[in-house]
Chain A
Amino acid sequence: MERRAAQAAITGLGITEQGKVYGPSAVGFAVDAIRLALDDAGLEAKDLDGLLVNPGLSWGQAAQMGSFAVQQAMGLRDLRLSAAMNLGGATAGAMVMQAVLAIEAGLANHVACVFSDAPLKPPKPRDGSGGGSGSSGAYAFAGGLEAAYGAFGVNGLYALLASRHMHRFGTTHDHLGAIAVAERAWAQHNPRAQFHGKTLTLAEYHASRWVAEPFHLLDCCLVSNGGLAVIVSRGDRARSLAKPPVWVRGMGQGHPGGDPLETLASGAPLAARDAFAMAGATLADVDFCELYDCYTFTVLVTLEDYGFCAKGEGGPFVADGRIGPGGALPVNTGGGQLSSFYMWGMTPIGEAVIQVRGEGGGRQVAKHDLGLVSGNGGVLSTHTTLLLGREPR
């Protein structure tokens, strides 16, 4: 079989308006994102024969058969591949991987992969109701015994990891802050970013309020309403579409199990092994990174786990501006989920597509042959790696 011809590429990218955008439901944002991605690729709805959906936390009951909900909402007929998937922040990479596997097996031609969420509600008149702020309630995972101790939310779970990393390796708030500052600097060149036009200094990072010490507010990702979709297409069809294909050069997953508090490690080493072997590439071939950044700390650990620096040396590695604009290793070039918008793992994939195509405008990296994209879910529990490039493997 002619395997090269059957390779897959990302051919369409759709990003809705992001952030405090009200009106569409979560399913509605998914539909909007897919429409934008089809337009971007020069495809029509009837060309789609695969649909993979990652329902965000606000989907509620619709998440149960999320891909069918989107199919019905769009009136799609005769799909050959359909699933709702959930590996937390690693889902986006897993959806692209699933699409590629189906395409390379001859089971689909054009697969839409979409994430959407609408956790933010419009501001209400002041009537004294409600406790807490924002949508934090929607993201409160803990219950039962942990709730009795006031141990709520994901912020604390990652803060525990950060506290141990600081204890074991001497990582500092300056190190974490360097990541927040670098991503904010990138966001100044991304008009879609929620923090576009709002610069950040290290001093301002330190002054931001604590949420779960050692995390300041600005260690944590944004909360966003919106949708983001990509179309993954058969290679021989990808070349004739509207935009240059972004080839899936390598892909892999790694789900380590066990207790990350003991290891302080993600599934990146396992996922990277498959992805780099498939691509026939090494770290030295990577021109830029789009790393899953639910927190500053996640970026630091992910850089270590891919081997850009040794375990425990992520802090000094990022401290000198290395990952910001003009740095030696561009990371999260659109501002990441800390400073652009939070579409789970679709934010890094979307930015990688923009960079590989050369559509990055003021934030375009000079060399963009190969981008490393990570996804991370749970508490360093699930991981995906995608290597996206300008040429097929």
Chain B
Amino acid sequence: MSATEFPKPVPKATPELLPFLDAARAGRLAVQRCGACGTLRFPPRELCSRCWSREVEWTDVSGRGEVFAFYVMHQVYHPGFVADVPYPVVVVKLDEGPTMVSNVVDCPREKLRIGLPVEVVFEEREGVALPKFRPRAP
């Protein structure tokens, strides 16, 4: 069976994730900001873990950061990734503070390292713009 019969998962446009996906479609990377204390957070959550406020807004961030941790996935948990293994899964620490699970693209394995400066790019997948990261000049 070819990989095309198994599309990769697409993030559901849940109420929590919709502002993130809308921003990405417009070419912007957005995270939540607590409406009470201003703490940035991602992934989206109901409450601020610092002040417990439910007041929340979305704010654009620079899309720049660095690789904070990573692994190279060799296992196939989902048939949509059969043709991709091995592929890197990274935690990017954004310049503004929050961390984000993503993939690094346009980066050979030997160049991938913790501390690698990266910037956001958007990958089209079934109408969703999925934020990923590529190496950038420091």
Residues of A within 8 A of B (CB): 131-132, 136-137, 140, 144-153, 155-156, 159-161, 163-164, 167, 209-215, 259, 261
Alpha-carbon separation in the docked complex, A209 to B76 (Å): 13
**Which partner residue on chain B sits nearest A163 by CB separation?**
B69
By the criterion CB–CB under 8 Å, are A161 and B69 in contact? yes
List 4 A-B pairs, minimum CB-CB distance, nearest first. A152-B77, A159-B71, A213-B72, A160-B69
Q: Which of B46-77 contact A (CB under 8 A)?
A: 68-77
**Which partner residue on chain B sits nearest A139 by CB separation?**
B77
Interface digits, B1-25 against A, CB 8 Å rule (1 contact, 0 not)? Answer: 0000010111110100100000000
B114: chain A residues at CB < 8 Å are 163-164, 167
By the criterion CB–CB under 8 Å, are A261 and B91 in contact? yes
By the criterion CB–CB under 8 Å, are B89 and A149 in contact? yes
Interchain residue pairs with CB less than 8 A apart (13): A131-B6, A132-B76, A137-B77, A140-B77, A144-B11, A147-B78, A148-B130, A160-B71, A163-B69, A164-B114, A167-B114, A215-B71, A261-B69
By the criterion CB–CB under 8 Å, are A261 and B68 in contact? yes
A167: chain B residues at CB < 8 Å are 69, 114-115
Alpha-carbon separation in the docked complex, A208 to B75 (Å): 13
A159: chain B residues at CB < 8 Å are 71
By the criterion CB–CB under 8 Å, are B87 and A150 in contact? yes
B91: chain A residues at CB < 8 Å are 160, 261
Please tell me the size bucket of the interface on B.
35 or more
By the criterion CB–CB under 8 Å, are B11 and A214 in contact? no
B73: chain A residues at CB < 8 Å are 150-152, 156, 212
Q: Whole-angstrom distance from the CB of A80 to the nearest CB of chain B?
A: 37
**Which partner residue on chain B sits nearest A150 by CB separation?**
B81
B9: chain A residues at CB < 8 Å are 147-148
A259: chain B residues at CB < 8 Å are 99
Known: A144-B12, A145-B17, A160-B91. A150 touches B78 (CB 8 A): yes
Q: Which of B6, B80, B101 touches A145 (beta carbons < 8 Å)?
A: B101
By the criterion CB–CB under 8 Å, are A148 and B10 in contact? yes
By the criterion CB–CB under 8 Å, are A163 and B87 in contact? no
By the criterion CB–CB under 8 Å, are B78 and A152 in contact? yes
Alpha-carbon separation in the docked complex, A144 to B78 (Å): 13
Q: Whole-angstrom distance from the CB of A132 to the nearest CB of chain B?
A: 5
A209: chain B residues at CB < 8 Å are 74
**Which partner residue on chain A sits nearest B74 by CB separation?**
A210
Q: Is B79 an interface residue (CB 8 A)?
A: yes
Q: Whole-angstrom distance from the CB of A73 to the nearest CB of chain B?
A: 33
Q: Whole-angstrom distance from the CB of A215 to the nearest CB of chain B?
A: 7
A160: chain B residues at CB < 8 Å are 69-71, 89, 91
By the criterion CB–CB under 8 Å, are A150 and B69 in contact? no
By the criterion CB–CB under 8 Å, are B130 and A212 in contact? no
Q: Is B82 an interface residue (CB 8 A)?
A: yes
Known: A150-B8, A150-B103, A151-B101. A163 touches B71 (CB 8 A): yes
Alpha-carbon separation in the docked complex, A150 to B82 (Å): 10
